[in-house]
Amino acid sequence: MPTYIGLLSFTEQGIKNVKDTTRRAAEAKEVASRFGVTMKEIYWTLGAYDIVCVLEAKDETSLTAFELATARQGNVRTQSLRAMNASEMEAVLAKLP
């Protein structure tokens, strides 16, 4: 399954209710599975993003639907990056002339 890095930032609502962030993350893991997404890791971070997630999704449509459902709750804004391990990158490089 493709791997994605999720970069999340708290909204004003999300930071106002920050004490609920770990509970919301646990609920998000359950919701993710309904969309065909697995939240492998969740980290709360300092810096430009408040939360970084490692996710696996069966396809981009599933990931996008999950992220939209999450964003609709109003606690975070999301950004996704497609991540590739070394063997996946080798397959990309093999296509180069």
CA distance 8 to 57: 17
SS3 label, residue 9: strand
pLDDT single digits (tens) 37-51: 999 999 999 999 999
pLDDT band at 8; cut points 50, 70, 90: very high
Q: Please give the pLDDT value at position 94.
A: 98
pLDDT band at 74; cut points 50, 70, 90: very high
The residue extents of the domains of the chain are 3-94
Q: Does domain 3-94 have CATH number 3.40.50.720?
A: no
pLDDT band at 86; cut points 50, 70, 90: very high
Instruction: Tell me the average pLDDT of the chain.
Output: 97
